[in-house]
Amino acid sequence: MKRVLREAHAHIFQLGRSLSMLELGGCGSAEQMLDAIADRAKTLGEDEWLLAQGARPQGWDNPSWPGRAQLDQAGGGRPVVAWCFDYHAMVASSSALTHARIDASTTIESGVVELDEAGEPSGLLLEHAALRMWNSVPEPDDAQRRELVLAACRHLIGLGFSEVHDLKAQPWLGTVLSELLAAGEIDMRFELFPLVPDLKASIEAQRAGFDERVRIAGGKCFVDGTLNSRTAWMLHPYADGRPEHPSGVAMMTTKQIDNALLACKEHGLPLASHAIGDAAVRAVLDAIERNGCERTRCRIEHAELIDAADLRRFVELGVIASLQPCHLLADMEALRRAVPDRLDRVLPIRSLLKSGLAPGVDLLFGSDVPIVRADAEDSIQAAIHRRRAGMSESESINPGEAIDEETAWACFAPGSES
């Protein structure tokens, strides 16, 4: 029997973009990477950008990135940017660097422009320097956008999803999805959560006419950072935190969370808050209580750590827990280093269900694709085994919070109300 699934946390346009990029994960050397780039370049228009991702030089016998001159040659002089698999580094060709106005004299806070022996950029960019480059890549035009969104939807349909929630929906996304639905190119349901500042424009677009299978379902905000950068906001310091923010980073003040809630409420909509650390989760629950937003179907996205004192508050305040258990598979080592004393607080799925949340109704599973792949099997594996396939039971993270397979699939079941 083929299951019908809901992906409760996706980024549709970014997925389409990442599907369209040259994948370098299979390359075992700089030479192979350059060959792959040269092959792709042949399929592109003269000045068309060549975007690639997934390179893993760390796994090569010679772990050096190809240089800028090699990229220029392989790419036929066109702008080329190629991400490392972890999105913290990239290499860029000469014309790409020129386009981004990055040269030997460029300094970028929290970023590195590596120089070669001649004192010129080698092509390798780290952290914020890589981001500067990426942000200067031209945005796809309307026709390309439509194709990227369509490719993403087809990819998700192929994985069994009939309903998708986009948790940072661009104001134009609902219109493009509606066109694809009306043209009969796809048939699925969408709930869109634009960033709170984009809500107004998104609702105006909806008023202009969406397909009945698309709706603006709430606003989105970011209350903290991420676990891997130790910026998820925790109640207790990390075991290996950064001196400048030992317990992570609160990216919003109490007042700002209140305002985000109220801005959504004004439109009769709930707020979906990115909150990974237990302090961020508590701050959101507090705000929902303080502002009388109980039972408005506000959502907390991620909630990787939840303090015991806050467990019952989800059901008491009518808050939806939108979880991505699949991240546990990638984060196991990071969690052991970061919160070794509080692994029992990591993704307490069983306790949340026991407190009264119903799978597929107010406890939802998703993936955060394209940060990780959207395959539901990954979250099922994490939810029932709490470890990667092939690992021994003793390596599981917080195994007391494991749930059975049927319940795990139920967290992917599309809602009856939609």
Residues that bind Zn ion (CB under 5 A): 167, 368
- Closest distance to Zn ion from the beta carbon of 109 (Å): 25
- Closest distance to Zn ion from the beta carbon of 167 (Å): 5
Whole-number Å distance between alpha carbons of 263 and 122: 46
User: Whose Cβ is closer to Zn ion: residue 304's or residue 368's?
Assistant: 368
Contacts for 412 with CB less than 8 Å, ≥ 6 apart = 3, 5, 6, 7, 8, 360, 365, 376, 379
**Which residue lies nearest Zn ion, judged by its C-beta?**
368
Helix axes 278-290, 254-266, angle to 10 degrees: 50
- Closest distance to Zn ion from the beta carbon of 272 (Å): 10
Helices and strands, counts by H and E, the chain: 15, 15
- Closest distance to Zn ion from the beta carbon of 281 (Å): 16
User: Whose Cβ is closer to Zn ion: residue 93's or residue 367's?
Assistant: 367
φ and ψ at residue 121, rounded to 5 degrees: -55, 130
User: Whose Cβ is closer to Zn ion: residue 8's or residue 335's?
Assistant: 8
User: Whose Cβ is closer to Zn ion: residue 167's or residue 315's?
Assistant: 167
Q: What is the token pair recorded at 59?
A: 């796994």
- Closest distance to Zn ion from the beta carbon of 256 (Å): 19
User: Cβ atoms within 10 A of the Cβ of 181, count?
Assistant: 20
Q: H or E segment at 215?
A: strand 214-216
- Closest distance to Zn ion from the beta carbon of 64 (Å): 33
User: Whose Cβ is closer to Zn ion: residue 167's or residue 227's?
Assistant: 167
Q: H or E segment at 30?
A: helix 30-41
Contacts for 256 with CB less than 8 Å, ≥ 6 apart = 221
Q: What is the CA radius of gyration of the chain?
A: 22
User: Whose Cβ is closer to Zn ion: residue 310's or residue 368's?
Assistant: 368
User: Whose Cβ is closer to Zn ion: residue 15's or residue 80's?
Assistant: 15
Q: What is the token pair recorded at 208?
A: 């202009």
Name the DSSP class of 60.
Answer: S
- Closest distance to Zn ion from the beta carbon of 211 (Å): 24
Residues in the chain: 418
405, β-bridge pairs: none
